[in-house]
Structure 1
Amino acid sequence: MESDDAAILIGVSQYRDPSLLDVPAARNSLHAMHRLLTSPELCGWSDDQVHVLEDPAGATDVALELYRLAEKTTGTLLIYFVGHGVVSKSGALCLAAGDTQLRYPDLTGLEYDKVRSALLDSPAQVKLVILDCCYSGRIIHGLAGVGESQLVDSTDVRGVYTLTAADQVAHVPPRDETASTSFTQVLCDIVRSGIPGAPPTLALTDLYPKLKSTLKACGLPEPNHRVTDTVESYPFCRNVAYAGSTGFRLLPQEHVDHFLRIFAAQPRHDLTTESIERLEDWPGVYLLHRESSDAPEIVYVGRGDRSIAVRLGQHLRKISGRCHIDVRDFSFSYLKLDDDLSVLSPELLVLQHLHAQGCPPLWNNTGFGNNDAGRMRDSIQRSGDHFDVLHPIDLSWLVRFDAPVLKVTAHEMAAQLRAQLPYAFRIERREAELDEVGITLPESSLCADRAFRLLAAALGDSWQISALVGQVLMYRERGKRYPSAIRYYAGTRTITEMPEVCKTAGLPDEG
């Protein structure tokens, strides 16, 4: 399925090769860029559109995810990389992954020519590339003599704006564990401050002179950029320093204020199947409210382009299958709309208003509204404030099998689990093999944990079921480890793990 816009953010801070020093600032830069892009007041990307690869182990995984997104993006494609850049013996720039070897960068890193190839093949109308490649020690000397013309040749793709840090990127002092790289930090600071006297929206070409002069004034190496075609005018972000204009407004402020007042006055309904079933299939905008010990709070702002009821039904199902949360604490309010929601984006108006009031919704841009984005994102380490980390899947969820038939094939059992679990259960396509494995169920109702144990035991050691904080995977693989896994099922063995980011949130019960 094609999508209009997509951004892929790649950050590598840890390396196995001792010749490549770890770059803690790269992780901070990755998170800072994600916050910048998904801020409703700044760049306005939705969390579903931004794909984050944090500390990917291999360059092949990065390349596959990059190609997958590039080939299906038709609107705007943004690629951001922060980490080590390594130059091969032939002078080609290689982006270093976690297992990249300094001695063989062209074999173990992601050559920029592959990024260029993905850009060339992508149907995206606008393509933005931001490279914050940090070098240290030997790598700086390895780049000596590599001319800018070589980068120009490799970035000569129609409809692309390329912004790069200088060859010799200044390092943040290691004592500052929260700082970003200088390049990304200055870029984010400029976007958040805006540019007085500039238009209401800013292109990267508007930001570049300020970025260059600021880095130079700090005694830091100057960045480079290259523009092809009219992509130079693409609005990258809102200009928060814009003082106003006498130009025409599509939505006059009084209309926006009226919309916000009407929306705020809408009644609340319990988040239940009965309440949702009473809704008609109608587009509109909605709020999720949660009762707390202090006062009710708005945790999520969303919209349904075709049906509010469908979106709320998805949220009810998702919340019901999570730990450390009670669906009875939730309610919703909504407003039906006749306008083209994809053009007006009314939820952004609400988000901007809530941010201005100092009460931003807790779950927007933290993964709550995300769908299963495919296998390439399974290796991502979730941040500590991600919805899946705070509210991991409930492995005690009860699944009912068709009685009185208690003997099923592995395929039938997996299909029942997939249909009834309130979280994604992704299965490798080996249906013929799964049809040959029989399973006798001890009873017609089983908790998910018990069902996974039986299924894994029947499939044997050649298969592995991996329960991550947000979904469950079943693949023909052995010993594969995922950074956000909480439990593994392989044959008769069950291994419980707790990712570092999950320790404060706790672990789901075994049922």
Structure 2
Amino acid sequence: MKGYTEFEFDLPSALLSRLIEVIDAIEPEQLNAANLIEIPEEQGVYQLFLDGRLVYVGKTDADAGLRKRLTRHARKIMHRVALDPARVGFKAVRIFVFTAMDLESDLIRHYGGVKAIDWNGSGFGSNDPGRERDTTKVDPSNFDAVFPIDIDREMAFAIEEGEHAADVLSRLKDALPFTFRFQGAGARSRKPHPDMDAIITQGAAGPMTPRAAVAHIVSALPAAWQATALPGYIILYKEAPREYPQAQVIAISGGN
């Protein structure tokens, strides 16, 4: 037909191809809070590197832009056995027109798939798995198994004379770079357990290790409280004695 033709532009492939060129041209920067200050809280994709080798590909979502996602990862790599945070770098690309295509999956496939990128599919990007997963055995290739939390590393934390246990637990939860979950007043209640609200802890000077801080709190609680360190987080429940796979008991209260 004269004067007419059809043209179909493969936008997803063109976008992916150009994105790969852009992200490959970036020099990685060390993943820490100082280097993330100027990263915009916008939509995009990013990569993480361990000793210069690609280990994670991620993207933003409606709840977290580039700065928030990368800041979360920067905390995740802190206080880990055999993992110096200085070994981890990042690249990030803001995408002004974020299409519906799954850029994260396409990038992962381009760089060799999940099996070639160690931290994708390893639980690295996950939040607190929840109470029902506490008894699940962690796969040896899981991020938390390879780099378990270091509960013996000192941190700037102290316990004031006369503090309620609930207040100390809340402060410690905020200070730790990994999850610290403890039993509340009810299954879905955000209120502290009555034992925590009533107990007054003795003071303890800092700096302290997470192990020492948790043990100090537990020593002041009534009987049956148990603090347990799992590969990726710490839990504190009134359940002693209880065994968990791949875990170590930090302390069990004996009552006063």
Give the TM-score of the pair, scaled to structure 1. Answer: 0.44
CA contact (8 A) 1:266 1:335 kept: no
Q: Is 2:231 aligned against 1:475?
A: no
**2:44 aligned residue (247, 259, 284):** 284
The 5 Å alignment of 1:345-356 reads: 345-355=102-112
Q: Are residue 268 (structure 1) and residue 28 (structure 2) matched?
A: yes
Question: What pairs up with 1:244-393 in 2 under 5 angstroms?
Answer: 251-291=11-51, 296-305=52-61, 306-340=64-98, 343-355=100-112, 360-393=116-149
Query: Structure 2 CA distance, aligned partners of 1:480 and 1:339?
Result: 51
CA offsets per residue over residues 469-507 of structure 1, 9 Å max, x none?
A: 111111111211111313341026xxxxxxxxxxxxxxx
The number of equivalent residue pairs is 239
In structure 1, runs of 5+ residues without a counterpart are 1-247, 493-511
Instruction: From the CA coordinates, give the structure whose radius of gyration is larger.
Output: 1
SS in 1 for 2:201: strand
Higher helix share: 1
Q: Report the alpha carbon displacement of residue 321 of structure 1 after superposing the two structures with TM.
A: 2.0
The structure with the largest strand share of the pair is: 1
Gapped regions of structure 2 (runs ≥ 5): 1-7, 186-191
1:398 aligned to 2:154?
yes
TM-score (norm 2): 0.86
Q: Does 1:416 align with 2:178?
A: no
Q: Which runs of 4+ in 1 moved over 4 A?
A: none
Q: 1:482 is matched by which residue type in structure 2?
A: Y
Decide whether aligned partners of structure 1 residues 380 and 249 sit closer, same or farther in structure 2, where only a CA change above 3 A counts.
Answer: farther
Deviation at 1:363, TM superposition (A): 0.5
Shifted more, 394-403 versus 480-489: the winner is 394-403
Q: Which residue of 2 aligns with 1:236?
A: none
Please give the per-residue CA displacement for 1:168-190, whole angstroms capped at 9, x wherever unaligned. Answer: xxxxxxxxxxxxxxxxxxxxxxx
The answer (yes or no) to whether the contact 2:12–2:101 under 8 Å persists in 1 is no
- The CA distance in 2 between the partners of 1:485 and 1:419, in whole Å, is 22
SS in 1 for 2:149: coil
Taking the aligned partners of 2:243 and 2:207, their CA distance within structure 1 comes to 30
Looking at structure 2, the residues matched to 260 and 335 of structure 1 have their Cα atoms a distance apart, in angstroms, of: 10
RMSD, aligned CA: 2.2
Change (3 A) 1:445 1:407: farther
Larger RCO: Structure 1 or Structure 2 (Cα < 8 Å, ≥ 6 residues apart)? 2
| In structure 2, distance between residues paired with 1:436 and 1:352 | 54
Trace 1:441-452 onto structure 2 (pairs within 5 A): 441-452=203-214
Q: How does 1:100-249 map to 2 (within 5 A)?
A: none
1:255 CA drift (Å): 3.5
Identity %: 26
In the TM superposition, what is the alpha-carbon distance from 1:452 to its structure 2 partner? 1.4
